[in-house]
Structure 1
Amino acid sequence: MWKKIILSAAFTFVGLYALFQVGYYATSTPPFCGSCHEVNKYLISWQTSAHKDVNCLDCHQPRGELGKVQAKARGLNYVFQHFSGDYTIPTQAIVSDQNCLQCHLGDDKSFPNAAKLKNTPRVDHYQTIKKAQSCLDCHRATGHDVDIYLTRDLKGVKQL
């Protein structure tokens, strides 16, 4: 009896995990992300950036399997906001310094040509990392332009 329950639970878990992975990869491409008008201008800007060969979630998702779950939960919230019209632009996109460092310290073998961090007379990246200073403090618009919909008069953001 217990063997059947454990075996059923294991098969259910594996099946749900496989289904999640299929859904994850189907909804993790830049064209999919850019299909909402709130993100489309960011996608266009990304296509001319130095990071144009980097998938959106390589930057905008915490590492690991739970990071995938967190990113997709956030994505479902964005979908709800899109269809309900209950959104404010700019949204708060998440970029973890861990993602930047993984590529730019050479730990991510998927991007062997990524520029490696180095210290210069002007910038000591060692101290920046040691102080836990965010990469975005200096490199906020590296992946794509930011605050695209924000105007000086703070009007018209929802008139997309």
Structure 2
Amino acid sequence: MWKKIILGVGITLICLYALFEIGYYATSDPFFCASCHEVKKYTTSWQSSAHKSINCLECHQPRGELGKFQAKARGLNYVFQHLTGDYTVPTRAVISDRNCIECHLDDNSAFPKTIKLKNTIKVNHYQTIKKSQSCIDCHRDTGHAVDIYLSPDLNGIK
């Protein structure tokens, strides 16, 4: 009896996780994000950025499986806000320095042409990291323009 219950629970959990993964990848494209969120201008700006070859979640989600759940829970909240009209312009999106460092310290083999921190001459990034300064202190506009809704020169982006 217990073996059947444990097997049933195990199979159910595996199926639920597989469905989550399918949904995760189906809803992780930047254009999917822009279709529901009030971030169309950010997506358009991203298309001409240095990071145009990576999707939103490479920067805007915590690493690991729990990061996927956290990002999609946040996404469901954005969908609810969009559908009810009860939203604010997302000007302070979540970005973890760990996401920047993973690629720019050469820890992510998926992006081999990434500019590496060790190859930068102007700034000693290791000292910056040791001082607990955030990457976005200096690189706020790297992935896409920010504060688009506040900037008159970017209001022409649709």
Taking structure 1 as the reference length, what is the TM-score of the superposition?
0.90
1:50 match: 50
1:62-105 deviation per Cα after TM superposition (whole angstroms, max 9, x unaligned): 00000000000000000011111111113431111000000000
1:80 match: 80
Pairwise CA RMSD: 1.6
SS at match of 1:35: helix
Q: Distance in 2 between matches of 1:86 and 1:28?
A: 23
1:10 match: 10
- In the alignment, structure 2 segments of 5+ residues that lack a partner are 153-157
Q: Distance in 1 between matches of 2:107 and 2:125?
A: 16
Q: Distance in 1 between matches of 2:12 and 2:69?
A: 18
Q: Name the count of aligned residue pairs.
A: 152
2:108 match: 108
Q: Distance in 2 between matches of 1:22 and 1:110?
A: 20
2:78 maps to a residue whose letter is Y
1:7-47 deviation per Cα after TM superposition (whole angstroms, max 9, x unaligned): 00100000000000000000000110111351110000000
Contact 1:45 1:144 in 2 (8 A): yes
CA 1:16–1:37: 2 relative to 1, 3 Å: closer
Whose helix fraction is larger, Structure 1's or Structure 2's?
2
Taking structure 2 as the reference length, what is the TM-score of the superposition?
0.91
Percent identity, aligned pairs only, is 69
Contact 1:89 1:150 in 2 (8 A): no
1:5 maps to a residue whose letter is I
Q: Distance in 1 between matches of 2:20 and 2:108?
A: 24
